[in-house]
Amino acid sequence: MDMPVDLTLIIVLVLAFILLAVLFTFVPIMLWISALAAGVKIGIFQLVGMRLRRVIPARVVNPLIKAEKAGLNIELNKLEGHYLAGGNVDRVVNALIAAQRANIELTFERCAAIDLAGRDVLEAVQMSVNPKVIETPFIAGVAMDGIEVKAKARITVRANIDRLVGGAGEDTVIARVGEGIVSTIGSSTDHKAVLENPDMISQTVLKKGLDSGTAFEILSIDIADIDIGKNIGAGLQTDQAEADKKIAQAKAEERRAMAVAHEQEMKAKVEEMRAKVTEAEAEVPMAMAEAFKAGNLGVMDYMNYQNISADTDMRDAIGKESKGNDEDGYSNNPGTDL
């Protein structure tokens, strides 16, 4: 009779153990005890409700205990709602505690909005207390004398909590500062003035209000390094002179080609006129024959014509011989050549 009683007792103990295990797994008793010990008023049914809403109680209760100990009055529903929205509850509470210690006015709603926007709100609060230094790469600008000047700047910025949501990031600040450096160098009449007073760059850039619309407040811009680059003006003048030279050569070649073409055209016209002369000379015998037939030209007239033609040929021969003697360096007078 003792055996059935012992078996029943064992079954009851096992069922009780299983029930307690399920209870402690579903209901965070230890977390509820920790909250009560820290002075946080939270009911056991609220923790069960978090389980039903698929909220990890430790992700909400532990930050709530931390906020309570830091003197922050944050409602549990707000923390749970921020968790359900996909935010980082622990980071938001840490940011609020850091802001309270630094006397920075920061509400839970704004802090949660910054966190949901994808920015590290704790880092932003820390940057508000401890400013950050952003270093730009070497930025090149050309002064009015054509000399290239390269400058590197260090930008000291502080996070602007009010503009953290929707404000531009570090890349925008670096781009605007680079634009200001290029503009300042380009407006300088001489590169030596920039080398002598590099602070004129930072002063000019600061006056432009480059932090407008960004998530930062620019505290200072310091020129870390400055160097001389290439002589851009001389290079551009050299390239322009080379281009002008090529243009002039092309125009000269064009004029030479036109002159050669004109010369060939004149030679063609000369040959054309010679052909016409030869054609006209070929008609002379035919005209003389017609004159003989018509009785307009007699034998004596023809003989006189032949004598005149021979005399003309003789004079041409003498003239050509005299010209040849002049070119050889001899006198036309036979007596003086001896």
37-80 pLDDT per residue, tens: 878 888 877 887 887 788 888 888 888 888 888 888 888 888 88
Amino acid making up residue 261: A
Which of 21-25, 196-200, 262-266 is predicted least confidently? 21-25
Q: CB–CB of 31/57 below 8 Å?
A: yes
pLDDT, tens digit (0-9, with 9 covering 90-100), for 3-35: 455 677 777 666 766 666 665 565 677 777 888
Map residue 144 onto helix, strand or coil: coil
> Whose CA is closest to 155, among 214, 95, 227, 229?
214
DSSP type of residue 162: G
Query: For the chain, which domains are there?
Result: 13-129 (no CATH), 138-232 (3.30.479.30)
Amino acid making up residue 163: R
> Whose CA is closest to 201, among 159, 144, 148, 141?
141
Q: CB–CB of 64/40 below 8 Å?
A: yes
Pairwise pLDDT comparison (16 vs 211), residue with the higher score: 211
Task: List C-alpha distances in Å: 95 to 39, 60, 67, 261, 337.
Answer: 22, 15, 11, 88, 124
The angle at the Cα of 203, spanning 200 to 206, to the nearest 5 degrees, equals: 145
Helix (H) or strand (E) holding 311: helix 299-328
Distance CA 72, CA 93 (A): 9
Phi and psi angles of residue 8, each rounded to the nearest 5 degrees, phi first = -65, -40
Distance CA 19, CA 1 (A): 28
- Look up the pTM and report it: 0.55
